[in-house]
Structure 1
Amino acid sequence: MNEEALLTELIAMLPSPTYIVISIVFGVIGLMCFQAGRKVNKPRLKWGGLALMFYPYLIGNDTRLLILVGLALCALLYFWRKS
């Protein structure tokens, strides 16, 4: 395999800029939920925030799946915030 083909394959494996930005946005939301849950001693909010921060590491390069799981976790945290 020549170097050009190898470089092309390596670049194709990188996540898109959209994926990176969305990961950062959900990570910041997760950090805010984690801090709020720790401050008011709500374990569900705290652990949900941690899940929101670290779930992008478990998802491949699929941006649509990243958005769907992130929105589902945000909705779950929204309903858990009062309980």
Structure 2
Amino acid sequence: MPEPALLFASLLFGLVGLLAFRFGKRNANWAQLLIGIALMVFPYFVSSLVLSYLIGAALCLALYLWRD
């Protein structure tokens, strides 16, 4: 069973990804849509807490930089 911090990270980045996906879909912004999908999907493949936070933070930074 995963540790609680990893579950929290998955929930947090999944929620941010869902919001980015919906916003990107509504505004037809492909970059936000794809980053949102990546934020929702990557926690299924990462089992390390540190790696999860690093990937999630990098994707959130990318979402911030491509906020046209």
Bin for the TM-score computed over the shorter chain: over 0.9
Give ranges in structure 1 of 5+ residues lacking alignment.
Answer: 1-13
In structure 2, what is the equivalent of residue 25 of structure 1?
Answer: 12
TM-score (norm 1): 0.79
- Comparing both chains, which one has the higher relative contact order based on Cα–Cα distances under 8 Å and sequence gaps of 6 or more? 2
Q: Deviations over 1:18-48 (max 9, x none)?
A: 1001110100000000000000000110011
1:74 and 2:60 are equivalent in the alignment: yes
Name the count of aligned residue pairs.
Answer: 68
**Using the alignment, how far apart are the partners of 1:59 and 1:19 within structure 2?**
9
TM-score (norm 2): 0.96
Larger radius of gyration: 1
Give ranges in structure 2 of 5+ residues lacking alignment.
Answer: none
> Which of these residues, 34, 39, 56, is aligned with residue 52 of structure 1?
39
User: RMSD of the TM alignment (CA)?
Assistant: 0.6
Q: Percent identity?
A: 37
**Using the alignment, how far apart are the partners of 1:71 and 1:53 within structure 2?**
13
